[in-house]
Amino acid sequence: MTIKKFDPRARKVKILATIGPASRDPDMLRRLFKAGADAFRVNMSHGEHSVHGETIRAIRALEKEFARPIAILADLQGPKLRVGTFKDGKAVIRHSGHFTLDRNPEPGDETRVQLPHPELFGLLEKGQRLLINDGKIRLRVIRADEDAILCSAEVGGVISDRKGVNVPDAEVPIPALTEKDRKDLAFAMEQGVDWIGLSFVQRPEDLAEARRLMGGRGGLCAKIEKPMAVRRLAEIVELSDAIMVARGDLGVELEPQEVPPLQKQIVNASRLSGKPVIVATQMLESMIESPAPTRAEVSDVANAVYDGADVIMLSAETAAGDWPEEAVTIMDKIAIQVERDEAYLGRVRFLDTPPDRTTADALSHACMTIADTVSIRAITVFTGSGSTARRVARERPSVPMLVLTPSMATARRVGLLWGAHAVATKDIGSFEEMIAKGKRMALRHGLGEGGDKLIALAGVPFGTPGATNLLHVVTLSGDELENYEKERALQK
């Protein structure tokens, strides 16, 4: 296979594309990657393991073809609360009428239906809400006991078999991982995915079992989709490796006007911790069927970029839509245009991210200051675990970051990190080797040419985790550029 040179993106925010029937073909995956997708999401809620395995292998083949590490996020389904069945497959709940959810397994009608989740009985209280079918039906609890929950229908309508139930006003005492999730997680780890998306997170403890089952492999992304999770956001951010703002489910359980400020709150909390944050769901929803987005959708994507999100995500637009390549292309264009705005850097730095009182944080902050003061082309970061790259990205420097690491796993994981262009390369053993490799890689990856200055950030002794203590500014000479071009000519 001929390895194709792939230059860094013309933007720092990353694009995560969900793979599904419309995009799992290897040729379409290639087109999505070339159009701007930096990472791919495999939705474990749909499809068989055999199909997901083929998708993951196709992405890894793409990675080899373009010699660029590509992050893969496996998104777990999580527990789903659902009603039972109806005599005729459906029924109509009368607006302002009474409706009962009970433990009787017999098919339901317009007055009642089974709720096959015993943990909810005795939990709910008068005045709390039950939302059915993504909030299309809204019930308010009148009375609840161990056998039945009597509700008033604030918003009625047609209800059919096994529609989903959301309980926004109570912490539901069920674990975030179902048996299906455990099997899916084991499969994802066997396949070597880079990130696990954990659904139905309500409390910090929900992350513990997933961590244990992952066994130190990959990164754990907590999806914030429950109001209960927002209440304990700081703890959840601390215990996770990344955060996803899952606006679809948040929008069901909260009033629509509550979601935008919460999105900003979650993005800010993640950025303060130096962990990647993904803004997801319905970003270009109309492009499922239309080749062009609405102006409101364009503004929504742009606002997420202005807020400083690390990643913006496409869901059904690329998984099942009619225009997957066009959706990625539009998102790429929006992000590039925003980042060209003279006010952009000020906007993403509006959030004060003071460095911790550590040498590594102080040097990462200095990278941003030097890049603002001196004409710097790129920051080269030598890292084993990726922690140094996260510290630099948290500062939102004005120039790209070339992440050099001996670990392919690390190179893939930083695919969700703002401004990072990762390269898996052999480890370094000396200061001189670090400088030479940083220059060579910057030339090779289009992040420098003769006369350009680079910042090199690393730790001495080399290969020691958490030892970031060295910052050096270097200049690429014309001779180095000439030697590199001769080297490339010989390779051809």
Cα distances from 88 to residues 83, 160, 164, 383, 416, in angstroms, run 14, 9, 18, 61, 47
pLDDT band of residue 460 (cuts 50, 70, 90) is confident
Residues 6+ apart with CB under 8 A from 133: 159, 160, 163, 164
Q: Which residues are catalytic?
A: 41, 82, 223, 281
**What distance in Å separates the CA atoms of residue 188 and residue 12, rounded to the nearest whole number?**
28
Decide if pLDDT at 267 tops 60. yes
* pLDDT score of 465: 74
pLDDT tier, 459 (very low <50, low <70, confident <90, very high otherwise): confident
* Res 44 pLDDT > 80: yes
At 74 the pLDDT is 98
Compute the mean pLDDT over every residue in the chain, rounded to the nearest whole number. Answer: 94
- The reply to whether 90-166 shares the fold of 14-78+175-343 is no
- Average pLDDT (240-247) is 97
CA distance 74 to 45: 10
Q: Is the CATH code 3.40.50.1820 the one for domain 90-166?
A: no
In angstroms, how far is CA 13 from the centroid of its own chain? 11
Fold of the 359-491 domain: Pyruvate Kinase; Chain: A, domain 1 (3.40.1380)
The pTM (predicted TM-score) of the whole model is: 0.94
Non-local (6+) Cβ contacts of 227 within 8 A are: 168, 169, 250, 253, 254
Q: How far apart are CA 432 and CA 4, in angstroms?
A: 29
- CATH fit for domain 14-78+175-343, picks 3.20.20.80, 1.10.3720.10, 3.90.730.10, 3.20.20.60: 3.20.20.60
Domain spans of the chain, in order of start = 14-78+175-343, 90-166, 359-491
